Structure 1
Amino acid sequence: MSSNELGGFLRSRRERLTPKAAGLRPGLAHRRVPGLRREELAELAGVSVGYYTRLEQGASSSASDAVIDALAVALRLDPEEHEHLRALAAPRSPTRPRARRSVLRPEVRRLVAAMSGTPAVVIDHRVDVLGWNRLGHALLAGHLPFDAPDGRVRPNLARMLFLDPHHRALYRDWPAKATVTVSALRRAAARYPSDAGLTRLVGELATDSAEFARLWARRPVRTCAHAIRELDHPLVGALTLANETLVLPDDDQQLGLFHAEPDSPAADALALLAHQVSDRDRRVVGEVPDEHSAVPTSETGVHP
């Protein structure tokens, strides 16, 4: 990550806030940019121009809680942006442990597997897929091997969303999903500024996807613990599913669950997908002839 994430975030929010929105009277002088000037923001926050300039230019990498709160008020930050600013401004300890390859606890793996009627997936702070159940795999990435999360290169939701056409085509609300995914990576970058794996992932996506690069430059930090997802599944068609995200705080991991409204077309489609998954699993152990398969078994597309 850039060594001046704090300055970049402050600048992005300063440049989007107009003097009118900030409560300032319009001046007579010509403005080169629509956003606030540094001196205007410094005055609103009650800090010196020199101190604010050092923050934005990276000459000072941390700020007190009082200064952060004053800047958040002056910039009209929402609670999520305020918390992100606080994370960026937190003092960095040179001995702070680096994020390592995440491990899915056996208890969580068994829990996910037991949710046989509900698509479930577990991701880490890099949005690497650590595990999924059969229905979660069939819903999100049936074109990949089921055991892909246990491989050397794990599936990654951001990589799939921007670079894998099969996964991208799943989301009718792709722009909203893309924004939430980039936001998750932005927040992770604030928590783990020395995470080399995260840095490589962001660099790869910014190089290979112009859409990711544009979104990353906007520095979104919106959270999305629950949403309604409109999906176009290649096997069962249109699905409207509620997507709930539960945080596993001890491991900095998230459990994503998908469910349909009872007695809805989406519930019927999800039941059909579960039936196809069950038929495929029985076929693997020799209970159903291969020619009855309704699910492709060959791997296609871009492997994350």
Structure 2
Amino acid sequence: MDQLFRKYINSVINPEEYSKVSDFLASKKNEDIIYSLIKPHWDREMLEESEVQKPNPELRDKIIQAILISDRETVLRKLSVSRLKLRIAAILITGLIISTVFFIRKSTKVQYVAEMQTISAPFGAKTNFTLPDGSLVWLNSGSSVSFISSFEKSRLVSLKGEAFFEVENNGNPFLVSTEYGDVEVKGTSFNVSAFAGEYFQTTLLTGTVKVKEKRTGEEVSLQPGQQAGIYGTDFKVENVDTDMFSSWKDGKLIFRNENLLSVTKRLERWYNVKIELGSDKRLSEISYTGTLEMESFSEVLQLLKITAPIDYIYDEKTRTIRIEYTNNF
């Protein structure tokens, strides 16, 4: 249970493990064990708070949740939306479900009602869920997915941010639409990254997909191990290590010679923090290679500091981490 609890705290737990942890926390007889599991994480966060001086509301909410667990058993169990047969297993926190009803009228008579479902993962959290057709979706921090209630017939998903899909093959095309490009599949597993202001990338693990750039209408087909990306005006396909672009769903961040600016953007979403870079141009020359798995944000900052000529300060008023170049390396 200690290992499962660590995975729960660090947002890398899968749906089956989440169910086990939920049942364990819901039992009053486990109160002493729960306290012993929470205390080390609480002590560590208190120590880190004195170093970085930034509160951790997510951990606080988990502790409060564990203390009040006996009164909230139904909240801790897997959320079931029976009307859509949509099962959502939350990692850290449950994805937010927002429903908007659109009425399409002809004259004065309502002809059709379509319900739009939106599932979101706030910054600092991730979630995974099952679509009505049985396809699985992992949603990264700061991302959202929208689809209509008649999903089985028209498998269209609108994505903002990043998501990993394992698509069920039911004979109907599955389309992921983003601001920058569309991805069409039938049955396959792939990752799509479409954050605002960043490169659009589709990475294929299994099966085949078609990727269409919206600006030019250019379309390419991918094979497993390939990635289609939009880089400014360039739309290109290349072979990649797929783990680098899909491991986030398993609680890992992998960097391979990645520049500091790109690293900090990923860390901002992952830890729900604000990071600013100083004006020294030498910061743009710093790159990192490595893997992060279940490290706290303070530990990550220390890793960045000891592997490159940088230092950081924390602004308590704006709650912002500022990274500066240093000659004391």
TM-score normalised according to structure 1 size: 0.26
Larger helix fraction of residues: 1
Q: Relative contact order (alpha carbons < 8 A, sep ≥ 6): 1 or 2 greater?
A: 1
Give the greater-gyration-radius structure (CA): 1
TM-score normalised according to structure 2 size: 0.25
Larger strand fraction of residues: 2
